[in-house]
Amino acid sequence: MPRKAVVLVSGGLDSATVLAIATEAGFDCHPVCFEYGQRHRAEVDSARRVCLRRTGREPRIVAVDLSAFGGSALTDTGIEVPETSTEGIPVTYVPARNTVFLSLALAYAEVLDSRDIFIGVNAVDYSGYPDCRPEFINAFQALANVATRAGVEGRSMIIHAPLLDWSKGRIIEEGMRLGVDYAETVSCYQATDAGLACGRCDSCRLRAQGFREAGVPDPTRYVVGRG
Amino acid sequence: MPRKAVVLVSGGLDSATVLAIATEAGFDCHPVCFEYGQRHRAEVDSARRVCLRRTGREPRIVAVDLSAFGGSALTDTGIEVPETSTEGIPVTYVPARNTVFLSLALAYAEVLDSRDIFIGVNAVDYSGYPDCRPEFINAFQALANVATRAGVEGRSMIIHAPLLDWSKGRIIEEGMRLGVDYAETVSCYQATDAGLACGRCDSCRLRAQGFREAGVPDPTRYVVGRG
């Protein structure tokens, strides 16, 4: 019987690739997706399409109201999404987001009796986010091994972050090889509800650059001509 | 200026005591409380009363739908709350609950720029719960120090768990000294919406035993005579 894995899926390019990697590696994938007060619905719609196509399963959708705390341009409509790069940790950083998401994935893994969790964090593009670094993944794995029944019973939990040190171009190349349809994914920080991308935020810029690096036509649907 | 602290408050006896301890230690306390699909509303109502009396602040109430995963008698109405003690990890264990709650508290601490989080976990009474052990608190603190801006910038996060090795009796004694009104707290796993306790579940039994140990009259309002 294939090993069960919980896969965090956001509707973006990275997690769609991770889902394809985990499926190809033979895991029985149980996707989970979060409604956390993000600005737009397009992420969740995109996550559903990606999961259904790859696994035949709807993602488990979990509501967690990170906007209760504010503090990020992605959950607080009072903070504008920047359209130029900035120094240090950007305002699009959602405090402790990956910690919260991995914790919820851990809860799901416990219920499923799964010991494998896949997450599409990437340290190259998001070096300004504390929770996208290898130290973070290692610390979470150590936590998972003392926080769970499996850990207490000596069965190790593994946090898989296969994209951790990949460039966006390499992620796209691998996804293309595995048949990921990137037209179904949405990366933009301020996409419209229909999933049209702004073409100007950091996330749009990194994504477009990735397609150029990979030498693949960019299938993103933009609101206006690319900024 | 006093240091800001985030304090996890559940409406129960332990967290009410922790809030009193953190306040007495001079922290500027910001309570946070979770609506996680628990069986009854009495917990949140009780948390509000306790926080208002002690800090003059409403707790930040965060919705996180742990019932999406099921797997526990506390969030899944299909699983009965047991009324006799069992071996090993009990069915009232909510998978990864303290990991999820501490992660959300960490998000709040980041937004507040606070480096101190207080939680009322207790290893003596809940030795069957993996996430109520000192190893868990230590691992979460290590995670917090790589997962956050503060950690990246070299300002240490501290997870305070002052009740970790206290007996229920000692917790109540300390709370009485600090003027905690335990009549305002609700511990029962299956309290009525009005906050009446069943008197028969594990949590009710531990609480009643604590009042006996402390030699203090039990102010709990029970549905029927104690079981």
In a domain, A24, yes or no: yes
Contact A130 B149 (CB under 8 A): yes
In whole angstroms, what is the distance from residue A97 CA to residue A34 CA?
10
In a domain, A95, yes or no: yes
Q: What is the CATH number of the domain that holds A110?
A: 3.40.50.620
What is the predicted pLDDT for the residue at B190?
85
pLDDT tens digits in sequence order for chain B, 227 residues long: 899 999 999 989 999 999 999 999 999 999 999 988 766 678 889 999 999 999 999 999 998 888 888 766 666 667 676 676 666 666 666 788 899 999 999 999 998 999 999 999 988 766 678 888 999 999 999 999 999 888 888 889 999 999 999 999 999 999 999 999 999 999 888 888 888 999 988 889 989 999 999 999 999 999 975 44
Q: Which residues contact A44 (CB under 8 A, 6 or more apart)?
A: A11, A33, A35, A61
Residue by residue, DSSP assigns B124-172 as TTTTT-GGGSHHHHHHHHHHHHHHSHHHHTT---EEE-TTTT--HHHHH
In a domain, B123, yes or no: yes
What is the predicted pLDDT for the residue at B154?
84
Domain of A81 in residue numbering reads as 4-187
What is the predicted pLDDT for the residue at A226?
46
What is the predicted ipTM? Answer: 0.88
What is the predicted pLDDT for the residue at A95?
82
Sign for the CA dihedral angle at A64, B125, B29, B112 comes to negative
Give the DSSP letter of residue B64.
Answer: B
The closest alpha carbon to A173, from A205, A212, A214, belongs to A214
In whole angstroms, what is the distance from residue A36 CA to residue A47 CA?
14
From A130, A145, A148, residue closest to B147, measured CB to CB: A130
A136 contact residues in B (CB cutoff 8 A): 143, 146-147
Amino acid at B11: G
Contact A66 B107 (CB under 8 A): yes
Strand partners, B8: B32
| Position A227 pLDDT exceeds 50 | no
In a domain, B175, yes or no: yes
What is the predicted pLDDT for the residue at B102?
97
What is the predicted pLDDT for the residue at B72?
66
Q: Which residue of B has its CA nearest to A153?
A: B130
| A154 class by beta-carbon count within 10 Å (0-12 exposed, 13-18 middle, 19+ buried) | exposed
A95 contact residues in B (CB cutoff 8 A): 106-108, 110-111, 148-149
Number of other CB atoms surrounding residue B154 within 10 Å: 7
| Phi/psi at B222 (5° precision) | -100, 150
Largest Cα–Cα distance in chain B?
55
Contact A64 B69 (CB under 8 A): no
In a domain, B120, yes or no: yes
The mean per-residue pLDDT over the stretch A166-180 comes to 96
- Using alpha carbons only, how large is chain A's radius of gyration in Å? 17
Contact B139 A148 (CB under 8 A): no
In a domain, A225, yes or no: no
Strand partners, A222: A197
Contact A96 B135 (CB under 8 A): no
Q: Is-contact A62 A35, C-beta < 8 A?
A: yes
How does the average pLDDT of chain A come out, rounded?
Answer: 88
Pairing of strands B4-8, B116-118: parallel
Taking any CB pair shorter than 8 Å as contact, residues of chain B touching chain A are: 60-66, 68-71, 89, 93-100, 102-104, 106-108, 110-111, 130-131, 133, 135-136, 139-140, 142-143, 145-149, 151-152
Which pLDDT band holds residue A21 (cuts at 50, 70, 90)?
very high
Sign for the CA dihedral angle at A7, A9, A13, A14 comes to negative
Q: Is-contact B76 B37, C-beta < 8 A?
A: no
| Phi/psi at B94 (5° precision) | -95, 120
For residue A155, what are the CA distances in angstroms to A113, A144, B90?
Answer: 10, 11, 19
A145 contact residues in B (CB cutoff 8 A): 139
Q: Is-contact A134 A123, C-beta < 8 A?
A: yes
- How many Å separate Cα A205 from the centre of its chain? 17
Q: Which residue of B has its CA nearest to A37?
A: B63
In a domain, A222, yes or no: no
The closest alpha carbon to B134, from A216, A83, A146, belongs to A146
User: Percentage of chain A surpassing pLDDT 70?
Assistant: 87
Taking any CB pair shorter than 8 Å as contact, residues of chain A touching chain B are: 60-66, 68-71, 89, 93-100, 102-104, 106-108, 110-111, 130-131, 133, 135-136, 139-140, 142-143, 145-149, 151-152
The mean per-residue pLDDT over the stretch A162-178 comes to 96
Structure confidence by residue, pLDDT tens digits, A30-85: 999 998 876 667 888 999 999 999 999 999 999 888 888 876 666 666 767 667 66
Counted domains in chain A: 1
| Phi/psi at A64 (5° precision) | -145, 120
B66 contact residues in A (CB cutoff 8 A): 107
A104 contact residues in B (CB cutoff 8 A): 64, 96, 100
The closest alpha carbon to B104, from A8, A100, A141, A68, belongs to A100
In a domain, A198, yes or no: no
Range of weakest confidence among A67-81, A88-102, A213-227, B122-136: A67-81
Which pLDDT band holds residue A127 (cuts at 50, 70, 90)?
low
Q: In the structure encoding, which two tokens stand for residue A219, read together? A: 């299938």
What is the predicted pLDDT for the residue at A160?
98
The closest alpha carbon to A75, from A108, A29, A107, A43, belongs to A43
Pairing of strands A116-118, A158-160: parallel
The mean per-residue pLDDT over the stretch A104-117 comes to 94
Range of weakest confidence among A88-97, A151-160, B117-126: A88-97
Strands (DSSP E) contained in chain A are: 4-8, 28-35, 60-63, 116-118, 158-160
Contact B68 A64 (CB under 8 A): no
Report pTM: 0.90
